[in-house]
Structure 1
């Protein structure tokens, strides 16, 4: 079979590892969100889409619609927070919250409108993209999920589906139906013997590996990371020792949006991203998370890499069945989990 050709095999493997590295970031983010907040975050792929398409808009010298979404969410979150302070009798603090959010929104708007026509270097555009996409995570949590933090997993899942549909529609309005690519961060190729690989692929793998290492250090060596681990292990116990579930959720969604946006920019040069690409990309990361049982970070990352490799080889030999083969992976995993996992009621977790 062609798939075992000594020249094609490493090329397909490198392509699979490149996509799998991005899927691994999404899988880790999904595991983190579920462990800390019990939310099965369906719109994870939308952060990837907004990362790619926001950078593509900046490349064209256009102000991305992401800025409008960010400002609306910031205003909504500020109003909710101010209302909370007013109910507690701290009106002055509520007004201060509104003023601070207004100044922050004005600064973001001014910075974006000033930089976009200048078409700054790619590094500056990447930083601006992260500045616009990463805050979407905590703002989405504050406006959508924090009011529902005591709801059941089913209610949170329904909210996630609704949010996915809303973000997909907004992406269509902001960026249009056409697909977009972003420029590679590292153009050119590298030759290893008889195999030639793109520097962009190597960069994606390296950056993903460094991010995973950074997450490990964050969880093992920092107090916020240890607080998230404590919340993931026992939410009630973490609350009793003074760890705020809301603060843990905000930090978790910030990390998830950051990883999603960065993953979108990394995969942008190799995949033509459209407004509705997020669901399939997020689902592939979700398969990795399911392989890890939504609790194990190493297994989730390994499962996502496996998804990337299978997708790459299936694209070469059975392209018409590529998605079917990839998504069929979830069936034996779910069957195995259902047979080996003991169900616990939510109030016993």
Structure 2
């Protein structure tokens, strides 16, 4: 191995690590606010990439039917909850807009010449399709059991992951998808040639992480989410709705996952089940951060990307094993370092 190969592997590792860092931050965000260890986080990335590939091929995205089904189910659940609470049913403007949105989007996808659209418009259509699924998933699967134990929430996450994988196979088929690069150029720095798409991935990842930092540190909604993460009961007493916090948290998780999928799709072929490995590597990064420290999780995710890159050069058949084995010493170290406290019984 010479210096040129080291630089190339380092570039690939940094690029992959930037994607894993975004997924790790979204996993930690969801966990700290809602106590949900969101296993299907990688599905947002895979579905986003496959949707973008379908749009560039001129095919109306089949996933819009899932968005419509979620919207109808959410409307029925909201109406039933309203009837139980007030004894009557009333559909306000916001309710009607939420219900009509996926149908209007489906009509738009049918009417537009998708393959001829600018790439930015294709990306925006992809985000418009994927991101609303985040709050819908929270409303349908997690909000009714928000006070359940962490184990129950984990079981629901695993079941939801398996269901979304099956729906992904139904919507996209077994064939993979790859999209056109956003930046099809190469930058030369001496003997090192930097791929333009890789630079775009790192730049967008850094900008998104900085934007999240300012959102949580400087905005009222960000501080409200932090309050819910620290103390749900205290936040409720201060007038902060944990339900709203859960929905906006899943909105950000879906947004981050969808953007990650758009960034990585031009660099590798993704399949309906590729989201599991992506999310799992982001989970390894979040575990390195202890599910509480965003900076450490970002650094840990970059480390995961670098280890994966160099492992693929030395032992490509074992690169996944090497990456996931990394979690064992981290867990042992945190186990010895942490003070063990027995979990409180429910209802105390």
TM bin (shorter chain): over 0.9
SS of 1:181's equivalent?
coil
Q: Report what 1:127 is aligned to.
A: 124
1:119 deviates by 3.0
Q: Report what 2:86 is aligned to.
A: 89
Q: Report what 1:188 is aligned to.
A: 185
1:224 maps to 2:225: no
Matches of 1:106 and 1:293, distance apart in 2? 41
The 5-angstrom pairing of residues 1-349 of structure 1 reads: 2=1, 5-89=2-86, 91-94=88-91, 99-117=96-114, 119-344=116-341, 345-346=343-344
1:78 deviates by 1.2
Count residues with an aligned counterpart.
346
Output one character per residue of 1:47-87: Cα deviation in whole Å (capped at 9) or x when no partner. Answer: 01001000000011111122111111111111111111111
TM-score, length-normalised on structure 1?
0.96
TM-score, length-normalised on structure 2?
0.96
Matches of 1:297 and 1:23, distance apart in 2? 12
Contact 1:58–1:116 (8 Å) recurs in 2: no
Kindly report structure 1 stretches of 4+ aligned residues shifted beyond 6 Å: none
Matches of 1:221 and 1:23, distance apart in 2? 25
Contact 1:83–1:94 (8 Å) recurs in 2: no
Structure 1: unaligned runs, 5 residues or longer: none
Matches of 1:240 and 1:102, distance apart in 2? 31
1:184 deviates by 0.5
1:180 deviates by 1.2
Contact 2:64–2:102 (8 Å) recurs in 1: no
Residues 117 and 299 of structure 1: is their aligned pair in 2 closer, same or farther, counting only changes over 3 Å? closer
Output one character per residue of 1:1-54: Cα deviation in whole Å (capped at 9) or x when no partner. Answer: x1xx11111111111111100000000000000000000111011001001000
